[in-house]
Amino acid sequence: MIASVLEKKLAGAAHPIQHYGILRLVMYLIAITHIGVAPFIQTFMLERKERIPAAKLTDAVIENLCRRRMQGMLAIMALSQATAIYGLILMFLTHAIGDFYFLSAIALAAIVFFFPRPAQWEAWVLENTSKAV
């Protein structure tokens, strides 16, 4: 809905870029790269197993683990949402609303796919805090 309102407002604005094939290709490649990097962030930052002895598992260590988990999730969400922003940039420059819708759909799918379910969060917390018991 917002995109269609913006499209109507852009109709009277400056003329769109006529030959935007290279720009479009670059934006799509960057978007695909961002989505492709997300699994590596998830693997290396979030799913790395910590080998912390129970004696060293303090509140500060648990807080650090949770902070790293949140930072990794924020990085993945930012990369996913950047994909929709590239579509928005293409829409503003070329008035091609299809790029915006397509890249927004990819961003939404990436967010749904990469955001951990509550069961995954609980398993991660139990896995990293059960060593203290």
**Selection from 47, 46, 66, 68 nearest residue 58 by Cα:** 66
Residue 41 buriedness (CB in 10 A; 0-12 / 13-18 / 19+):
middle
Higher pLDDT, 133 or 36: 36
State the DSSP code for 120: H
- So what's the pLDDT on residue 107? 93
Which segment of 3-7, 68-72, 103-107, 117-121 scores lowest on mean pLDDT? 3-7
**Selection from 108, 11, 110, 69 nearest residue 61 by Cα:** 69
- So what's the pLDDT on residue 2? 63
Q: What is the mean pLDDT of residues 94-120?
A: 86
Domain residue limits, the chain: 2-8+17-49+56-132
CA atoms within 13 A on the CB side of 12: 3
Instruction: Give residue-wise pLDDT tens across range 44-95.
Output: 776 666 666 656 667 777 777 778 778 888 888 999 999 999 999 888 888 8
Which segment of 41-45, 83-87, 104-108, 121-125 scores lowest on mean pLDDT? 121-125
- So what's the pLDDT on residue 91? 87
Instruction: Give residue-wise pLDDT tens across range 25-42.
Output: 999 999 999 999 888 887
H-run or E-run covering 11: helix 2-11
Is residue 133 scored above 60 in pLDDT?
no
